[in-house]
Structure 1
Amino acid sequence: MGLRIAVLGRGAWGQTLIDIWSRQGHQVGSWSRRDGGSPVPLLASIDLVAVAVSLVGIEPLAKLLKGHWPASLPLISCSKGIDLEQLATPSQLWQQALGSMPCLVLSGPNLAAELKQGLPAASVLACSDASLGQRLQDQLSGEGLRLYTNQDPIGTEAAGALKNVIAVAAGISDGLRLGANAKASLLCRGLAEMGVVIEGLGGSASSLYGLAGLGDLLATANSPLSRNYRCGVLLAEGRTEEEAVAEIAATVEGIRTARAALKLARPHHWKLPICEQVVAVLDTQIRPADAVRALMERELKPEAQK
């Protein structure tokens, strides 16, 4: 018997989840802010809510839902990023707003355009409650989307957020035509930088090498379907942040995440040189080519040192 699912947010990823789960035989309702009205009526008599709004959309949506959320109703957070003001991940924002409801994180190489074409993909469903994660893994996996589980929601979210910053940097590298050697070096050091934030937030290093970390990075840092990668290419071509976002005409989460990561890093003295250079380019403090030069001229050190 299928689940009764409410999907909140019908952007590219939300609509993709609606289509996938409907084909699997689940009963799927949805709400978008474009609809107007309240999503609260959807909370009645359902088994699961998946939220696929952008990070900046969480706070206004949480205000609509606060006080109406059934305590036992699971929420799957499908948003990516780190909030610039509260320095919190999406699941942390939800738990701050709605209390200690069962909360899961869905993340991985999820280029919506490919899934819409019926191309196969895999993602990770992260939940501190292993039994809940495994139950929903069984119920939500199907043709086209295979789910794995872990018990590290924070590490999974941190990996999914930081890879967007590295994807912007990868787009800059490709936009400058720096070649495969430079890009491979960038991605490798980018992984190390992602690991600094994951461990700093209390996540597991193993999530860095899972679907939400390395898997998602490989997809988003190499595909023109990725908004973050495209943003990097446009920056390399001389566009400003505002011009790049306008041309993409969609949220580029790596921009806010880069700034949030640096804000997180300062009191802890974390070394995030790629994030620093991405922000410097976004703020027009440095040209993309000079940002690459600054990374290449950093003090030499052992590879294992972060």
Structure 2
Amino acid sequence: MSDSVRSDSAILTVLGAGAWGTVLANLATRNGYQVRLWSRHGVLSLKDAIADASLIVSAVSIKGVTDVAEQLRECAIAPSAIFVSATKGLDPMTLRTPSQIWQASFPHHPVVVLSGPNLSKEIDQGLPAATVVASTDLTAAAAVQRVFACDRFRVYTNPDPVGTELGGTLKNVIAIAVGVCDGLNLGTNAKAALITRALTEMIRVGTHLGAEAETFFGLSGLGDLLATCNSSLSRNYQVGYGLAQGKSLAHVLNEIQGTAEGVNTANVLVELAHQHQIAVPVSYQVYLLLNNKITPVQAVEALMERDLKPEQFNRF
């Protein structure tokens, strides 16, 4: 399968011409691949965009994944094509991850998850970064690794797509909480405690849903969490910070450029956690805040006033 993804002949299609999709397209182009960049508002049809493509990279928002996947089912897909999911989020209708949507739509094709501490503006500036490509098909993962790896973008493979994807998805909710923490000037101690306990929460959710705990200590878990929670470039962080300044959610979302996936993810995650009876105290407070049920200060108080308990990893 990896033989079909070579720079001298391979055609790569990137679905989604936003900041992240454009960055991925540029990385592959610099490595010598023929790249087609598709968007809903472009002149290139979806059918023409994926014709003979050996790699189809999805960088559309989570709300558009199902629709694009359904449209692609009507198109001719190369038999050896690999799908790469670079979207972070949870589908509000099915509660599925993006890669689960792609795998259900194309069960005979390998699906690779690409996720990591990747702020698109920094990568676009040529600053060094690293990411993870994960799949149960290690040959496909290795092929994708070669497509994007370069001297400024280090790519690691991983056999745990569930953990890799959930790490990149769940951290967006936590970034909103950390934005609130900084917006309220609660200090470094509070921020460190919040991020640490949030990582435990992410592991709890992930392992319950079939992920490996170790994955969350890697680039797509802790790495992505730290990047998103410590940069004003993060749209999710900006949401929390703005709410802490007393702005409405609608006002904050109108100010930021792009989509803050953590807003949708918080709502879906709480529903998912309720169905599976998983405790998500940090994410639940973010959910209440986003739905205007509590104030930022009340969210902090609720977390600080929880019952006392041991910290042991195996008890959560």
TM-score by length of 1: 0.97
For structure 1, which segment, 18-27 or 156-165, has the greater mean C-alpha deviation from structure 2 after superposition? 18-27
Instruction: Please tell me whether residue 18 in structure 1 is matched to residue 25 in structure 2.
Output: yes
Residue of structure 1 equivalent to 2:70: 63
CA distance in 2, matches of 1:294, 1:159: 24
Residue of structure 2 equivalent to 1:153: 161
The AA in structure 1 aligned to 2:223 is G
Residue of structure 1 equivalent to 2:137: 129
CA distance in 2, matches of 1:98, 1:137: 21
Instruction: Please tell me whether residue 299 in structure 1 is matched to residue 307 in structure 2.
Output: yes
The answer as to whether partners of 2:27 and 2:148 remain within 8 angstroms in 1 is no
- Partner-residue secondary structure (3-state), 1:106: strand
CA distance in 2, matches of 1:292, 1:253: 22
Question: Which of residues 271, 278, 285 is equivalent to 1:277?
Answer: 285
CA distance in 2, matches of 1:8, 1:158: 21
Residue of structure 1 equivalent to 2:150: 142
**Which structure 1 segments of 5+ residues have no match?**
none
Residue of structure 2 equivalent to 1:81: 89
CA distance in 2, matches of 1:260, 1:71: 34
TM-score by length of 2: 0.94
CA distance in 1, matches of 2:242, 2:32: 41
The answer as to whether partners of 1:240 and 1:282 remain within 8 angstroms in 2 is no
Instruction: Please tell me whether residue 100 in structure 1 is matched to residue 108 in structure 2.
Output: yes
Q: State the shift of 1:42 in Å.
A: 2.2
Residue of structure 1 equivalent to 2:179: 171
The answer as to whether partners of 1:67 and 1:98 remain within 8 angstroms in 2 is no
Question: Which of residues 1, 12, 28 is equivalent to 1:5?
Answer: 12
Alignment: residue pair count: 306
CA distance in 2, matches of 1:19, 1:159: 25
Identity, in percent, stands at 45
For structure 1, which segment, 25-34 or 164-173, has the greater mean C-alpha deviation from structure 2 after superposition? 25-34
For structure 1, which segment, 33-42 or 248-257, has the greater mean C-alpha deviation from structure 2 after superposition? 33-42
The answer as to whether partners of 2:20 and 2:59 remain within 8 angstroms in 1 is yes
Q: State the shift of 1:44 in Å.
A: 2.1
Residue of structure 2 equivalent to 1:255: 263
After superposition, the CA RMSD in angstroms is 1.3
**Which structure 2 segments of 5+ residues have no match?**
1-5
CA distance in 2, matches of 1:13, 1:292: 32
Question: How do 1:180-219 residues align onto structure 2 when only pairs under 5 Å count?
Answer: 180-219=188-227
- Return closer, same or farther for 1:141/1:155 CA change in 2, 3 Å cut-off: same
